[in-house]
Amino acid sequence: MTIKDNQKVFFGKEKVSKSEKQKGVNEIFSKVTSNYDLMNDFMSFGAHRLWKNIFVKEAKIVKNSTILDLAGGTGDITKIIQKEYYNCKVYLSDQNSSMVNFARDRAMNEGFINNTFFDTSSAEKLPFKNSFFNHVFISFGFRNFSDKDKALSEIIRVLKKGGTLHILEFAKVQNKTFSKIYDFYSYELIPRIGNLVSRDKESYEYLVNSIRTHESQEETCEMLKSNGFSSAEYKNLFNGIVAIHRATK
Ligand SMILES: C[S@@+](CC[C@H](N)C(=O)[O-])C[C@H]1O[C@@H](n2cnc3c(N)ncnc32)[C@H](O)[C@@H]1O
């Protein structure tokens, strides 16, 4: 174990060890799996669908690519890719087995199982060989990682040279007035919606706090570059409620 392994990281608004964060995050996603898709629609008024479509479209996926949908959850990104680009192989990987099982059933029911592969492992220790993927996508997973540097070094390892990493994540809102309205909505209303829809206020308090303690757009770019990506850039959507980062190996 190195000194870095002992560093504390944010889990919501608390600082905990990396292993505690991994366990805590896993417990949350096991609890929310069955309501996860419904809650995303409620909380974002359906906007997450638009963000995810823009995210995939703007990635400029190369034909016949091998793609990793990392922290793939219930499979939204895998589904968009498979419906748009039939000639890609997509590996959905997530550390939470409930989410992976849910995604597999969904892929079968919704017709995107062909050329889709499922894997349960953590981003910090990927089971794929070096230089295997053309593109890696992470949608709303990055801020939950217990060791972002370790995950990024794994992503660099499994990407081909010239391959790209695409991250869609909550970010820092740019406009001060809008930021106040957004704060009210997220601190006051999201946990209540969570309680109403899924009788689970705590998981949605975690969600709100994890957004606030996650790195800014600029800090994420720095992190990508310091972990070996040759370039990193971002684009805000909805005034920075979310941002898309793109980095090249
Ligand atoms: C908010 S969900 C996003 C799911 C999906 N990508 C989407 O956009 O709807 C976050 C996912 O990240 C997964 N996750 C969290 N930490 C992880 C890690 N260290 N390695 C792999 N998956 C992780 C969770 O299990 C969960 O399924």
Q: What is the mean pLDDT of each run of 10 residues along the chain (249 residues)?
A: 75 90 93 88 92 97 95 98 90 98 98 97 98 98 96 98 97 92 88 85 88 93 97 96 97
- As a whole number of angstroms, the distance between CA 189 and CA 197 comes to 12
Residue 101 φ then ψ, to 5°: -65, -40
pLDDT at 25: 93
Other Cβ atoms less than 10 A from the Cβ of 236: the count is 15
- As a whole number of angstroms, the distance between CA 173 and CA 115 comes to 37
Give me ligand 1 centre to Cα 144, in Å. 7
Which residues are near ligand 1 (CB < 6 Å)?
A: 25, 29, 71-73, 76-77, 94-96, 99, 122-124, 139-141, 144-146
Name the residue among 44, 55, 82 with its Cα closest to residue 167: 55
End-to-end CA distance of the chain: 27
Residue 27 tokens read as 């417990």
Other Cβ atoms less than 10 A from the Cβ of 149: the count is 14
Residue 166 tokens read as 């695409």
Give me ligand 1 centre to Cα 177, in Å. 31
pTM over 0.85: yes
Instruction: Determine how β-strand 8-11 pairs with β-strand 14-17.
Output: antiparallel
pLDDT at 204: 86
Residue 222 tokens read as 């720095």
Name the residue among 181, 202, 222, 227 with its Cα closest to residue 25: 202
Which ligand 1 atom is at minimum distance from the Cα of 29?
25
pLDDT at 224: 98
Tell me the H-state helices in the chain. Answer: 18-32, 36-44, 47-58, 76-84, 97-109, 148-158, 176-183, 190-198, 201-213, 217-226
Amino acid, res. 228: G
pLDDT at 38: 87
Give me ligand 1 centre to Cα 9, in Å. 17
Q: What CATH superfamily is the domain 39-171+214-248?
A: Vaccinia Virus protein VP39 (3.40.50.150)
Give me ligand 1 centre to Cα 2, in Å. 25
**Residue whose CB lies within 8 A of the most ligand 1 atoms, among 23, 34, 140, for a mutation test:** 140
CB 96 within 8 A of CB 126: no
pLDDT at 3: 57
- As a whole number of angstroms, the distance between CA 55 and CA 16 comes to 31
Closest residue to atom 26 of ligand 1, CA basis: 73
Can you spell out the DSSP letters for 93-140? EES-HHHHHHHHHHHHHTT--TTEEEEE--TTS--SPTT-EEEEEEES
Give me the residue spans of the domains in the chain: 39-171+214-248
